[in-house]
Amino acid sequence: MDLLDTLTAKGLRGEVPTREEALAVLATTDDELLDVVAAAGKVRRRWFGRRVKLNYLVNLKSGLCPEDCNYCSQRLGSKAEILKYTWLKPDQAADAARAGVAGGAKRVCLVASGRGPTDRDIDRVTDTMAAIKDADPEVEICVCLGLLSDNQAERLKAAGADAYNHNLNTSEKTYGDITTTHTYADRVDTVQKAHGAGLSACSGLIAGMGESDEDLVDVVFALRELGSDSVPVNFLIPFEGTPLAKEWNLSPQRCLRILAMVRFVNPDTEVRIAGGREVHLRSMQPLGLHVANSIFLGDYLTSEGQAGQTDLDMIKDAGFEVEGAGEATLPRHRADIAAASSCGTAASACGSGGGCGPCGGHAHAPADAPVAVDADAAASDASDGELRSDLVKVRLRGAGTELAPNA
């Protein structure tokens, strides 16, 4: 297939496809799906080998958000029966983080609902990061607190944060359809503030909200232009009690095509399968590992994921290995640029921790043979448009509860 040959060649060189080529990936048929996965897999292995980075979420404050994001179970007016609690104490958050690190996670993502942090909130998170780093100085910490004000990113960086997450979610053109209490430009501004402070920019999207192929391509190219080091690809979890509860638009095949498109546009960037993989990829999750090089371990913010041990078994059974704490996530050429950024120069920041010295990245992994994939798995039942609310399970364990976390 000429398209896939072209995309593979560009990806192996670290080049970006055209918008037309990216749209063509989303328009491929189910008969072509395994070829698409194989092509994206070559690019993934060129830059990341067979390593899978594990990330672990700690929801520091659940629900109680004044923003009206239609996709979110924590939004203003949400009737979703999720956990609601105010700020965890630093030792509680550190205990939750410890479970994820023990399960193999090298990055802990600290998240709090709300429009953006107050200075007191920054102090809370600073104390929490200190408690986590005291237990494991090598762990990466990514913070996600909403819209940042001036100097807050610098304070987080000085306190030990390695990255800041703030997703663009969808295209600028359609952003007003999902949120009215802040703008797309507000989100871009926060990503730029994080970058400017030397934090690694973690910014991604949500697929399945009724957007067009053009919207998906728009937001992925925007993320590329922003210099995001990590691109989380979320698949909408349609919570009952939210405005998008009936938006069941994704099949496993559609999800794999979206992941492949993101990989081709971001060949040497960490692509993470984030929320909704169990809900929408289901039995085809292992195929996603051939395209993405990063996942969340265990549960999400307000929903439960599959068992942490099942994640680890899936990675092993698919022929991959968990990325170790001493391994750099990004390829060497990106890590070198990022190291300069963390010392105050203008470039993208490093997603693998460290100070102003080299990030210790690996040399480029060599390209190898096409991915061998299971045709029977690819033929598993797709549920395009089918309501599957039984697949959404509210998180009732871990942070904010007395029950052990899933890691």
62-72, pLDDT tens digit by residue? 988 999 999 99
- 240-263, pLDDT tens digit by residue? 889 999 999 999 999 999 999 999
pLDDT above 50: residue 170: yes
The catalytic residues are 65, 69, 72, 109, 142, 202, 272
Residue 147 lies in a domain: yes
Distance from C-alpha of 349 to C-alpha of 227, rounded to nearest angstrom:
9
Give, for 23, the enclosing helix (H) or strand (E).
helix 19-26
- 24-59, pLDDT tens digit by residue? 999 999 999 999 999 999 999 999 999 999 999 999
**Which residue do the tokens 């209490």 mark?**
181
Q: What is the pLDDT of residue 165?
A: 98
Please count the structural domains in the chain. 1
Q: What is the pLDDT of residue 30?
A: 97
Nearest to 152 by CA among 123, 179, 129: 123
Q: What is the pLDDT of residue 396?
A: 74
Residue 399 lies in a domain: no
Please list, in sequence order, all residues whose beta carbon lies within 8 angstroms of the beta carbon of residue 31, skipping any fewer than 6 positions away: none
Q: What secondary structure letter does DSSP report for 86?
A: -
Least confident range from 74-83, 108-117, 224-233, 270-279: namely: 74-83
Task: Indicate the average pLDDT of the chain.
Answer: 88
Give, for 111, the enclosing helix (H) or strand (E).
strand 107-112
CB count in 10 Å sphere of residue 118 = 12
* Residue pair 302/82 in contact by the 8 Å Cβ criterion: yes
Q: What is the pLDDT of residue 358?
A: 28
Q: What is the pLDDT of residue 97?
A: 95
Residue 397 lies in a domain: no
Q: What average pLDDT score do residues 314-322 get? A: 98
Residue 73 lies in a domain: yes
pLDDT above 70: residue 367: no
Give the residue, 123 or 300, on which the prediction is more confident: 123
Give the residue, 405 or 290, on which the prediction is more confident: 290
The CATH number of the domain holding residue 133 is 3.20.20.70
Domain that holds residue 387: 2-362+370-391
Least confident range from 148-157, 158-167, 224-233, 349-358: namely: 349-358
Distance from C-alpha of 129 to C-alpha of 161, rounded to nearest angstrom:
7
Q: Using a pLDDT cut of 90, give the percent of the chain over it.
A: 75
Q: What average pLDDT score do residues 199-216 get? A: 97
Distance from C-alpha of 339 to C-alpha of 222, rounded to nearest angstrom:
23
pTM over 0.85: yes
Residue 56 lies in a domain: yes
What's the chain's length in residues? 407
- 267-313, pLDDT tens digit by residue? 999 999 999 999 999 999 999 999 999 999 999 888 889 999 999 99
Helices (H), 159-239: 184-196, 213-226
Torsion of CA 167, 173, 174, 178, to 10 degrees: 50
